[in-house]
Amino acid sequence: MKSPEELFDRYLDNELTPGELVELEAWIDKDPRNAQQFVQWSATHLDTRTAMQGKALHDAVVQSVDAESSRYGPESAVELRHGYKILYQHLATAACVALVMSAGYFLIPSWWSEDSQPKLMPQISSLASDAKITQRIDCVLEQDRWNVQSSVYQSGQSIQLAKGVAVIEFSSGASVTLEAPAELEVLSGNSGFLHEGKLTAVVPESAVGFEILTPDSRVIDHGTEFAVRVSAGVSETHVFKGEVELLATRRNTGSDTPTKSTRLTATEAVRFDGDENSIGTPMKALPQRFIRMPPESGEVQSDLAIITPLPRQNDLVMWFEAGHGVQLDPRSRVVSWQNLASSNNEYPSAAWQVAASHRPLYEESHTASRPAIRFDGVEKHFLATTPIQTSNEMTVFIVCDFDGARKTDFGKLLMLTGRAKLSIQQEQGSIPVAQVFWWEKRKTHSTRAPSSITPEAPIVLACRYSLAENTLQLFANGELVAEDQANCPIATEASHLIGCNYHRTKSFFTGTIAEIAVYKEFLDRESFDQASSALVEKYSVRPRVEQP
């Protein structure tokens, strides 16, 4: 096998064989640093910019393919022509990656905090893979610890998850949600081996027959949603929908020859504890033990009769309502909270807490006898959303109940993170404040709209922000209670936080939140009043009493 340098030299000389072309392409795809190296070599040996802007490289490739056709035959010439076209596309992609990465050090403004900077992870996708990671939720792969970045996997490769949750899509169409700590070996485009950890699988009709193997068993799908857990010599299979075929296998014998088999249907589960002569111990399926994607597939609270009749719902980018799409763990703590405005975003989104010790508590009946989510301040309970796009013109509503018995000076109800951060927070126990702060020339700046009220529970807080109108306004139950200027752009696409500040280590909210609605527009007064009235009526909010 030739080295990458040798392959590149042959590429420059138009002497690559079809097999060598595949080798060079695989090397570029393997690591973003290889893509950067490819660009550097190209800059040294070729006028890359001229080649990319014109047709010089393309013409050279065509001439080379025509010349090579006599050497390798017409079929190889067709393959080479296609391969060089792909490699030419890789060159363009790699050049863009290198330029962005090198320019980023000089173009990031000094007032952009380290926490808000996007994590640049350039990748050149493989042309074919058996499985790929399609979503990462507060996730750390074991490969990340060693600066190896990969989102696609072939047969024989393992996905080792050190923290968080990853969603893996197999080429057959089966979707697996893997929960850390875990190791999942990809066996094929329609099967995997779970060595450790927990997973749930959602299998469409096109992927019926999808298999998950464990040290004790083979789980064969027959159109299902199921879960598998492997830990400390014990494995479990839980079926939530449809049916699976479960085959017990001989443990630690070097063979996966099945010894016993059975069928499991919805609500059924089986536990193996290492006894190879046992078919397993039957048990009831426990969906709350597993994180399930998409969030709405989990054990959620739902009552469509109480959905808030908010105006201009197509302008919502965030809409969390505690009666809808809340996935709970066995202790009634919130794992995920579905964003009802997901249909307005490019990708489905939710608010998550994958660390069990940081999950807020779900209260089935709280605000006006409706569900709410409790945040306990110093207990560090909070939720973080998947990336959501916000704008410079925004309107935010929060239905909340402050807990005056606080042990800290202030806590964040909602923080929209980015270059500048918009937050709605409580201070001195129960005084609401709207604030925007940002960094510029190594100094912190902020605009604040602190109210002078101590709200009675519950309260509908609202904030309107407009860069164009230079306005930051704070409302309580539809009444303007504070105002300041808005002289900083806040548009971003980032993960936003419910219940704490952007460091995730302090300023934790104490109280409950029943509903959050964030518009990408500075609502006109009529729409604003309509939304305020709908929330006030739904949660039976009493008129605010003036404080002496």
164: left (phi over 0), alpha (psi -120 to 50) or beta: left
Match 């399926």 to its residue by tokens.
Answer: 285
Q: Do 104 and 120 form a contact (C-beta atoms < 8 A)?
A: yes
Would 180 be classed as within a structural domain?
yes
Would 546 be classed as within a structural domain?
no
Same-domain check for residues 320 and 284: no
Burial class of residue 58 (count of CB atoms within 10 Å of its CB; 0-12, 13-18, 19+): middle
Same-domain check for residues 258 and 356: no
Would 115 be classed as within a structural domain?
no
Would 545 be classed as within a structural domain?
no
Residue span of the structural domain in which 76 resides: 4-107
Predicted confidence at residue 64, as pLDDT, reads 45
Same-domain check for residues 93 and 136: no
Would 481 be classed as within a structural domain?
yes
3-class SS letters over 218-266 = EEEECCCEEEEEEECCEEEEEEEECEEEEEEECCCCCCCCEEEEEEEEC
E strand or H helix at 78: helix 74-107
Domain boundary among 239, 256, 289: 289
- CATH number (domain holding residue 386): 2.60.120.200
Domain boundary among 66, 92, 107: 107
Same-domain check for residues 275 and 379: no
Total domains in the chain come to 3
- CATH number (domain holding residue 279): 2.60.120.1440
Domain boundary among 46, 73, 107: 107
Would 446 be classed as within a structural domain?
yes
Predicted confidence at residue 429, as pLDDT, reads 64
- For 348, which DSSP code? -
Same-domain check for residues 194 and 248: yes
Same-domain check for residues 250 and 363: no
Same-domain check for residues 102 and 143: no
Same-domain check for residues 389 and 500: yes
Same-domain check for residues 272 and 379: no
> How far is 8 from 13, CA to CA, in rounded Å?
9
Would 126 be classed as within a structural domain?
no
> How far is 322 from 360, CA to CA, in rounded Å?
12
Same-domain check for residues 161 and 49: no
What are the φ and ψ backbone dihedral angles of 194, each rounded to 5 degrees? -90, 105
Fill in the amino acid letter for 303: D
Same-domain check for residues 383 and 519: yes
Q: Do 389 and 398 form a contact (C-beta atoms < 8 A)?
A: no
Would 301 be classed as within a structural domain?
no
Same-domain check for residues 384 and 532: yes
What tens-digit pLDDT sequence spans the chain (548 residues)?
678 777 777 776 666 676 677 677 777 777 767 776 776 666 655 444 433 444 444 444 445 444 444 444 444 444 444 455 445 555 545 444 444 343 333 333 333 333 333 333 333 344 468 999 988 888 888 777 776 666 889 999 999 999 999 999 999 999 999 999 999 999 999 999 999 999 999 999 889 899 999 998 899 999 889 999 999 889 999 999 999 999 887 654 445 555 677 899 999 999 988 665 466 889 999 998 999 876 655 555 555 557 899 999 999 999 999 988 899 999 999 999 999 997 766 667 899 999 999 999 999 988 888 999 999 887 789 999 988 999 999 999 999 988 765 555 678 999 998 888 999 988 876 788 888 887 765 556 677 777 777 666 789 999 999 999 999 999 999 999 888 888 889 999 899 999 998 888 888 998 999 999 999 999 999 999 999 999 999 998 876 544 44
Predicted confidence at residue 138, as pLDDT, reads 86
